[in-house]
């Protein structure tokens, strides 16, 4: 039986990818605002990997202006970063975690994005789980992979 959107909207997105880069290089790509602007969100003005740090930035996508609100919840240097992720003007509150796992000279990156159902995608289709799945796949399989190259 196929799951309906209503049934799976609260299921976390979990993606794992292996990168041919050191854990230090992947960590920097995820936490250094200059690097983040190059491959992730060019609109990001500042970011600090410190618990309690909050930043806001607008992303224009398909004619919609999405105010991203991030608050750093947890940091384990070179291993884990957890963000509270909201959108200004919309209900909901999600949690995004990046776990970095060293495997020799390579790094496995595990992305876990939970709480997506709280965005009420039935009322706000732009915040549907499928959109996040597609976005995170593009992030992991194209943008970050190209940015890191073959260090």
Q: Is 17 exposed, middle or buried (0-12, 13-18, 19+ CB in 10 A)?
A: middle
Domain presence at residue 33: yes
Residue-level length of the chain = 151
Domain presence at residue 57: yes
- What is the tally of structural domains in the chain? 1
Looking at residues 70-79, what average pLDDT do you find? 98
pLDDT at 80: 98
Domain that holds residue 38: 10-148
pLDDT at 150: 67
The token pair that represents 59 in the structure block: 């992303």
Domain presence at residue 112: yes
Domain presence at residue 21: yes
Nearest to 133 by CA among 107, 119, 113: 113
94-106 residue pLDDT tens: 999 999 999 999 9
Domain presence at residue 39: yes
Pair 53, 47: CB distance under 8 Å: yes
Task: CATH number of the domain at 61, please.
Answer: 3.30.530.20
Task: Tell me the sheet residues that pair with 55.
Answer: 70
Domain presence at residue 3: no
Q: How far is CA 88 from CA 67, 113, 130, in A?
A: 5, 18, 20
pTM over 0.75: yes
Domain presence at residue 117: yes
Contacts for 36 with CB less than 8 Å, ≥ 6 apart: 29, 30, 44, 47
For 18, the 3-state DSSP assignment is strand
Domain presence at residue 49: yes
């Amino acid at each position: 039986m196929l799951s309906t959107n209503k049934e799976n909207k609260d299921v976390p997105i979990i993606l794992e990818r292996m990168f041919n880069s050191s854990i230090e290089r992947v960590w920097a790509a995820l936490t250094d605002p200059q690097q983040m602007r190059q491959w992730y969100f060019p609109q990001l003005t500042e970011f600090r990997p410190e618990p309690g740090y909050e930043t806001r930035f607008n992303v224009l996508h398909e004619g919609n202006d999405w105010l991203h609100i991030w608050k750093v919840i947890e940091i384990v240097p070179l291993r884990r970063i957890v963000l509270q992720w909201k959108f200004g003007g919309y209900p909901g509150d999600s949690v995004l975690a990046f776990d970095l796992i060293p495997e020799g000279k390579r790094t496995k990156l595990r992305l876990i994005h939970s709480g997506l159902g709280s965005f009420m995608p039935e009322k706000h289709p732009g915040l549907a789980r499928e959109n996040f799945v597609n976005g995170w796949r593009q992030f992991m399989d194209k943008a970050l992979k190209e940015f890191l190259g073959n260090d």
